Structure 1
Amino acid sequence: MCSKKLTFLSLSVLLVFSFNLFSQVTLPKILGHNMVLQQQKEVPVWGTASAGEKISVSFAGQTKTTVADKSGKWSVKLRSMKASFTPREMTIKGTNIIVLKNILVGEVWLCSGQSNMEYAMRKYSKFQTAVKGNRPPEDDLNTANNPNIRIFLDRRKYMEPSPEHLGWDAAMGRPLVDFSAVGYYFAKDLYAKLHVPIGMISAAVPGSRIEPWIQASKMDVAPVMKNGKTLDKLSADDGGSGKFYDTMIQPLIPFALKGMLWYQGESNCFLNENIRYAYKLKTLIESWRTDWNDKKMPFYFVQIAPYNYSASKDRPLSNENLPEFWEAQRLALHLKNTNTIAITDLVDSIADLHPGYKWEVGRRLSLVAANKAYGQKNVVCSGPTYQKMKVVNNTIEVSFSNTGSGLASRNGKPLSWFSIAGADGKFVSAKAEIIDNKVIVSAPEVPHPVSVRFGWNEAAQSNFINKEGLPAVPFRSDNPWDKLF
């Protein structure tokens, strides 16, 4: 009899505890101490509580109230605010009270992708052995000391809502060790340009294809190209559609962001994808923008680095599969407010899938953000980009955009990795000279040139740059996809 009473009592205590836990106001993990809120946008604050529970949110002189719906969900939107270095508290009141401390207002970016975006600051020693370019002047892993740069590491098994609010971290000390190096250096350089608090959210998984980052329902489509040809449904590629979206991206929505950074593609390139990847990237960009209710949100991505994909033993690949993938990535530039950076010069060995120049990748992304998202038009943010070609006698005259203060050779030697072909389509290595800020390409074997290519090889690391030091973007004038996407 005594045992039955104890069992009943234990069950009663458990039910009371469960009821109290459910009735508590609960926040998503992205809302926490030390966070940065996006300036000059409405700021959503949301969570769960008991159905019908009255909730109030107070921050920076504002108080917003609402009532949890039948499913226990609630949300409010704070009015847009100016950037502020003043640490402030946010108070969320319901049955319980949550106080989030040390909150700043500034610029917030989400960085996502696979291993090269996940590539953590703990690998700093590899940065120091890099042989090209200027290494960071100081060891940021040990000397970083800017409390106005805040970081949030989105972990796969961490994002479920709970009563705990551990929050964000300042980008220094132990928390920085595991954070994305690209994300940190982007923030560091952007801070130097804008002088406002910067918040970075890193959601990246090594080895991930693009499909897991897209909501599964958005993949069940068969893209129609401009020539009327219909591709197979994107979901047919069986890449685990949606699993990282569901666990890492969806829990962030609708946290206010300025923009998104994407560094992914190696896993899809190994599968010899081109036009299908272009449509997947388009789907990801458009669906994430829809999720955040911002059709114009900046989305900047990295063209993956040179690598010897053709050495893969799993499937037959040629040394042109990577350039075709670069081409597919760049098709996303047909979408507004997208941009990309080339990193063909940031590789010491094409046998290394994870080159260590992450500080420069972050810096180049910050150049794009400064120019495109923040209107600093004096900032040159891209290397020479193919614009058009013209056959002149036995040469091809190539014009470029993004020439900065002029075209140049990085080492003063003749430009490398140009090739031309005649009507037979057989490309041969060509001489390339800079004349009047254009490149004149020719080869004795091709007296009647028709097409020109640059950097069209997985090993191509050309010396062709603009005078700002940014590398020219690989291209082929006979691109078969551009008018069909």
Structure 2
Amino acid sequence: MLTTRKTNSSAMLYCTILVLSLGCLRAGAAVRFASIFSDHLVLQRGMADPVWGMATPGQTVKVSFAGNTVSAQADNTGHWMVKLPSMQANANPQTLTVQAGNSTSSVKDILVGDVWLCTGQSNMTYNLWGWTPGGHGHAAVAKANYPLIRFIDVPQKTASQPRDSFEASWQVCSPKTIGGFSAVGYYFGRDLFRKLHVPIGLIESSWPGTPIQPWTPLSAVRNTPELHNDYLWITNSEQQYGAQKKAFVTAIAAWLPKARAAINAGQVVPNPPAEPWNPMSAPGYTSLYNAMINPLIPFAIRGNIWYQGESNVNDSLYYVRLKALIKSWRKAWNQGDFPFYLVEIAPFYYGNPATGEPVVWNAQQNVVRTVANTGIVGTQDIGTLHNVHPFDKRDVGYRLSLLALAKTYGQKGFVYAGPMYKSMTISDGKAVIHFNHAADGLVSRDGKPLNWFEIAGKDKKFVPAQAAIVGDTVVVQAPSVPSPTVVRFAWDQIAVPNLMNKAGLPALPFDTNDAMTNSDKK
């Protein structure tokens, strides 16, 4: 086993040297596109699309597409970038070509439409094939003949430093190709296509079981005061790993002559030094951003859907972390405040404390209240309390599409979100709760009295409350709380409340003490 490890380590070293050498030769010998550009891709309409790649340093590069040709010069590392003129949606396949000197490279079957990122952890990752029980996945796959929907799945990799490439290709949506793609991403893209009738590109970059920290770039951690301790941990870990790696190289250099001598003498080879563990792997802080997000930048996108938070339950800094992530991604893409739409994590029994999941719910909603061009869809009615992965991905994708159609595309005439706490007034010992997204009226999903409301006075001792719908408000009271000061709703990890609007969209949980209502944008 030890000999195998030594051999594998050496092989990895030699392969790395060989790959780097081939990469240098390739950069010097042939012009090429970055890895995000492959046959069947979708370019973003209505924007100056960045196109980039590698060539011989100093070469003039010409990129042609749809009758337009733009030029740039490769820098001293061989990197080049151009921006194509803004284009309208186009479902006619075209070819994207780059030429430098005598070298030419092309990608074919290119459409122009809208491109959306699909990011997060397992509930974004889980694919159509995996959701047969109540999830409609296999039936959806059989009907997935949408040649104008294209998708690409970024490989699950980690990196301690930002990467600029990955190995994956765009595919045309069909029953033969779509089964392994994100179910939420597919339903979202399909429903957008049905309404917009333009090509849709979907980029999935997700990893099950991951907290938000690996998806956040180092710059965001460094520039966020509340995350200073995280930044110290990262920098200290990197310094320790650097010192350990240096010592490892020295130890290997001392071990090699001994190993060679033992082999020549027919003796047992001494154990090699143990290679140090890189704390940025596994995945660790920033590692998924480096390997799975950075290579996509600055590919033009319409927006991002984000389904993550299960691995940050009870994280008091989740609000700060999510704001920092959104801000940093938008800054990196440099295309303004592109839409960033969240999925509320579904009710699930995580164990004690029962209010650990509401910490994430509250953070998600407060981000929507305070960060421009964001939104959230509720899942209180489709959770599975003993499975963190709800089967119903179809409704999640559909609700995300409603959000995008209303907020991104400006379509009107429908309710696009569930009731969200807006404000509270106190009158005659009763709390009157006002909501956003309730103008069409509120109802009980099962026709029974409203449930999961609690009320408290100044002592903050919550008791179950009676709640009744009055127009577009809910009136909450309890005989034992004559002077209420705070109300909370569905503030428990296993809460499956029955309050919704008449569009059938569930109300979001809230605690009137924790909601940031002053900057509500609805």
Superposition TM-score, scaled by structure 1 size: 0.87
Aligned equivalent of 2:258: none
Task: Say which SS state the counterpart of residue 371 (structure 1) adopts.
Answer: helix
State the 1:481 CA deviation: 6.6
- Please say if 1:99 is aligned against 2:106: yes
Aligned equivalent of 2:209: 207
State the 1:438 CA deviation: 1.3
Cα-to-partner distance string for 1:80-130 (whole Å, 9 max, x where unaligned)? 0000111111111124211211111111000111111111111131344xx
**For structure 2, which runs of at least 5 residues remain unmatched after alignment?**
1-19, 235-282
The one-letter code sitting in structure 1 at the alignment partner of 2:72 is T
Give the percent of matched residue pairs that are identical in Structure 1 and Structure 2. 41
Most deviating of 430-439 and 18-27: 18-27
8 Å CA contact 1:219, 1:241 repeated in 2: no
* Structure in which a larger fraction of residues adopt helix: 2
Structure 2 counterparts to residues 294-309 of structure 1, below 5 A: 294-309=335-350
Question: 2: distance between equivalents of 1:17 and 1:375?
Answer: 46
Superposition TM-score, scaled by structure 2 size: 0.81
The one-letter code sitting in structure 1 at the alignment partner of 2:116 is W
8 Å CA contact 1:186, 1:363 repeated in 2: yes
Q: In the alignment, which of 91, 115, 123 is matched to residue 122 of structure 2? A: 115
Task: Say which SS state the counterpart of residue 202 (structure 2) adopts.
Answer: strand
Task: Say which SS state the counterpart of residue 193 (structure 1) adopts.
Answer: helix
State the 1:146 CA deviation: 0.8
Structure 2 counterparts to residues 344-423 of structure 1, below 5 A: 344-347=380-383, 349-423=384-458
State the 1:484 CA deviation: 11
Task: Say which SS state the counterpart of residue 52 (structure 1) adopts.
Answer: coil
- Please say if 1:36 is aligned against 2:78: no
Question: 1: distance between equivalents of 2:21 and 2:405?
Answer: 54
**For structure 1, which runs of at least 5 residues remain unmatched after alignment?**
1-13, 129-134, 224-229, 311-316
Aligned equivalent of 1:273: 315
Cα separation, partners in 2 of 1:87 and 1:397, compared to 1, 3 Å? same
Task: Say which SS state the counterpart of residue 185 (structure 1) adopts.
Answer: helix
State the 1:370 CA deviation: 0.4
State the 1:140 CA deviation: 1.4
Question: 1: distance between equivalents of 2:24 and 2:362?
Answer: 54
State the 1:294 CA deviation: 2.1
Task: Say which SS state the counterpart of residue 125 (structure 1) adopts.
Answer: coil
Structure 2 counterparts to residues 211-222 of structure 1, below 5 A: 211-222=213-224
Cα-to-partner distance string for 1:306-348 (whole Å, 9 max, x where unaligned)? 11112xxxxxx3111111221112221201101111111111x
State the 1:279 CA deviation: 1.0
> How many pairs were matched up?
447
Cα separation, partners in 2 of 1:107 and 1:16, compared to 1, 3 Å? closer
Cα separation, partners in 2 of 1:203 and 1:388, compared to 1, 3 Å? same
State the 1:143 CA deviation: 2.0
State the 1:150 CA deviation: 0.5
Aligned equivalent of 2:174: 172
8 Å CA contact 2:33, 2:105 repeated in 1: no
Question: 2: distance between equivalents of 1:107 and 1:401?
Answer: 29
Aligned equivalent of 1:318: 353
Structure 2 counterparts to residues 18-33 of structure 1, below 5 A: 19=25, 22-33=28-39
The one-letter code sitting in structure 1 at the alignment partner of 2:386 is A
Structure 2 counterparts to residues 247-258 of structure 1, below 5 A: 247-258=291-302
State the 1:26 CA deviation: 2.2
Cα separation, partners in 2 of 1:253 and 1:43, compared to 1, 3 Å? same
Q: In the alignment, which of 74, 98, 110 is matched to residue 68 of structure 1? A: 74
Cα separation, partners in 2 of 1:18 and 1:184, compared to 1, 3 Å? same
Aligned equivalent of 2:308: 264
- Please say if 1:244 is aligned against 2:288: yes
The root-mean-square deviation of aligned C-alpha atoms, in Å, is 2.4
Ranges of 4+ aligned residues in structure 1 off by more than 6 Å: 14-18, 480-485
